[in-house]
Amino acid sequence: MFKKKKTVGIRVPDHPIAIALVTELGNPIISTSIKDEDEVIEYTTDPSLIEEKWGKHVDYIIDCGYGGNIGSTIIDLTGDEPVLVREGKGSVEL
């Protein structure tokens, strides 16, 4: 799944459904954002559009309403010191 990748990103969501899934499963889950081809909207967060485009390709879609469209804060922890790659939604406090 992660061919030729030397690093992976780990997202820690602040969403009750994601937290409940991880808690119930007892394991992290692998997921992705849905990059949108629209020039204005960077990511698709409309559940009906996600179902329309991806419903035949995935086992489950959990409709919990529209998601936010603010990128996550990204902190690179691969070096000796943390590096802020992108400031977005989420605290940059370490």
pLDDT band at 40 (very low <50, low <70, confident <90, very high): low
Measured at the alpha carbon of residue 92, what is the angle toward residues 88 and 94, in degrees to the nearest 5? 155
Q: How far is Cα 22 from Cα 87, in angstroms, rounded to an integer?
A: 25
What's the pTM?
A: 0.62
- Whether the pLDDT of residue 39 is over 70: the answer is no
Helix (H, G, I), strand (E, B) or coil at 50: helix
Parse the chain into domains and list their residue ranges. 33-94
Q: What is the pLDDT of residue 57?
A: 92
For residue 44, count other CB atoms closer than 10 A to its CB. Answer: 19
Give per-residue pLDDT as tens, 46-79: 888 889 988 999 888 888 888 777 777 888 889 9
Task: Compute the average pLDDT of residues 3-24.
Answer: 84
Stronger pLDDT, 78 or 41, i.e. the higher one: 78
